[in-house]
């Protein structure tokens, strides 16, 4: 998934990390040929790249960003009690994530992205 860079910070290893609009982070290095970011070492260079688009592999998997707070919790559903809106293309608001926990059985979960991705959750 393509996400824009909102800011940069140093991680615990003193490496520059880009904070993405989705809430995930990506480590930025100048390490050709793997990553070519000669600008990452200067404040001016980093500032010039705020808003750049980066591929977020964590969104593609999908993986929840760290540091989220629980805002709402749904009921426990059985196969025959899942609300229709959850079965027909439910989306969350921007910046809101949903965590699906399957207590028994399997659930087919489809992310409607380009290209679409499907997962079997257990």
pLDDT digit string (tens) for the chain, length 122 residues: 889 999 999 999 999 999 999 888 999 998 887 788 999 999 999 999 999 999 888 876 677 778 888 888 888 888 888 888 888 778 888 778 888 888 888 888 877 777 777 777 77
Cβ partners under 8 Å of residue 56, min gap 6: 1, 2, 3, 20, 22, 24, 26
Distance set, CA 13 to CA 9, 10, 17, 21, 27 (Å): 11, 8, 10, 22, 10
Residue 110: Cβ-neighbour burial (10 angstroms; 0-12, 13-18, 19+)? exposed
pTM: 0.59
């Amino acid at each position: 998934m393509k996400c824009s860079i909102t800011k940069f910070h140093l991680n615990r290893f003193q490496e520059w990390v880009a904070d993405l609009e989705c809430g995930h982070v990506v480590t930025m290095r100048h390490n050709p040929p793997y990553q070519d970011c000669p600008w990452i070492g200067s404040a001016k260079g980093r500032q010039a790249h705020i808003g750049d688009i980066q591929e977020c592999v964590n969104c593609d998997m999908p993986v929840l960003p760290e540091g989220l707070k629980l805002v709402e919790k749904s009921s426990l559903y059985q196969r025959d009690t899942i609300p229709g809106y959850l079965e027909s293309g439910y989306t969350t608001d921007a910046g809101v994530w949903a965590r699906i926990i399957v207590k028994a059985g399997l659930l087919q979960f489809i992310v409607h992205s380009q290209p679409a991705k499907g997962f079997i959750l257990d």
